[in-house]
Amino acid sequence: MAVRQEVRGRVLVVRIEREEKRNAIDVDTALGIDEALNRLDDEPDLWVGVLTGTRTVFSAGTDLKAGLDFRTERGGEYGVIRRQREKPLVAAVEGIAFGGGFEIALACDLVVASTAARFALPETLRGLVPTSGALFRAVRALPPHVAKELLITGAELSGERAHHFGLVNRLTEPGHALEGALAVAEEICSSSPVAVRAVLGAVAAQLADDDRRGWAETERAVESIRGSADRHEGIAAFFERRPPRWSGR
C-alpha cells in the first residue's frame, strides 16, 4: 500500500510510503492520496489533515518511469494540487521535497519541516518545466529572486533557509516534522472548524484569479517546450544517468 491513513482525534494523517522509490508519485499513489483527502473533505468529524512521507523522505515528485502527472477528478495532479479544500492541510517534510514533492508542499496550507528537509525544483535540469503549481506558488511563497533561482538552476533550499523566508511555518529537529505538524494540527483544532473553513474559503477566493492566470501561464510554458529537442534529450539523459547535451532547440 503506497498511502496509509491514520486518524488521531480530529486529525487525519496521510502517509506516502514508497521509500524505495523516494516516495515518487505513480498512479496508485495519486489515487491513494486522493482517496485520503476525499475522506478528509467528506467526513465532518475530521477537521485537519497532515500529509507526510516517511522519516527520511517526503517525495521526489513524479515517478517518471510510471509516466507523467496523473490527475484525479477532485484533486487534480497527485490527488492534491488543484483540490478545492475547505479544511486545512499541513505538510510534514523530512528529507527531500523535490519537483512535484515540493509542489505538493506548496499546495498545502502550512508546512512543518525538519532541519534535514531539502526543497528543489530540478525540472529545467531535465529540459522540463514545473507543471503542478510551482511557477506561481513558489513565487508567491518565496522572494521572487529566490524562487527564480530555484526554478532556473535546480538549486536546493535547506529547511533552515525555507523557514527564514517564510515558506516553512515551523522548523523541527530531524525526525520530528510529523510530531511538529501534529502539534500545529492540534492548535488548529482549538479554533472553531466553521470559522477556520470560512477563513480558508475567503483566502482562496482572493487568490482564485491569480491561480487561473498561473495555470494558464503554466500551460503556455509546457507547450513552449513540448516538442523541443532539449526536452527529449533531458529525459533521455535522466534515464541513461548521464549529463544532458543541450542543443538549445
Q: Is residue 220 part of a domain?
A: no
Q: Is residue 54 part of a domain?
A: yes
Q: Is residue 8 part of a domain?
A: yes
Question: Active-site residue 103, yes or no?
Answer: yes
| CATH code, domain with 11 | 3.90.226.10
Is the pLDDT higher at 68 or at 230?
230
Rounded Cα gap, residues 186 and 11, in angstroms = 8
The x, y and z cell numbers of residue 54, run together, are 516517511
Average pLDDT over residues 97-106: 98
pLDDT at 228 over 70: yes
Q: Is residue 33 part of a domain?
A: yes
Predicted TM-score of the model (pTM):
0.96
223: amino acid identity, one letter: E
* Residue 70, pLDDT score: 82
pLDDT at 69 over 90: no
Q: Is residue 209 part of a domain?
A: no
* Residue 74, pLDDT score: 97
Q: Is residue 139 part of a domain?
A: yes
List the catalytic residue out of 35, 86, 103, 223: 103
Q: What domain count does the chain have?
A: 1
Q: Is residue 208 part of a domain?
A: no
Between strands 48-52 and 76-77, the pairing is unpaired
Give percent of the chain above pLDDT 70: 98
Exposed, middle or buried, 11 (CB in 10 Å: 0-12/13-18/19+)?
A: buried
Task: State the residue range of the domain holding 66.
Answer: 3-193
Ramachandran assignment for 61, one of left (phi > 0), alpha (psi -120 to 50 degrees), beta (any other): left
Average pLDDT over residues 70-86: 95
List the catalytic residue out of 6, 123, 179, 186: 123
The conformation of residue 159, written as its DSSP 8-state character, comes to: H
Q: Is residue 245 part of a domain?
A: no
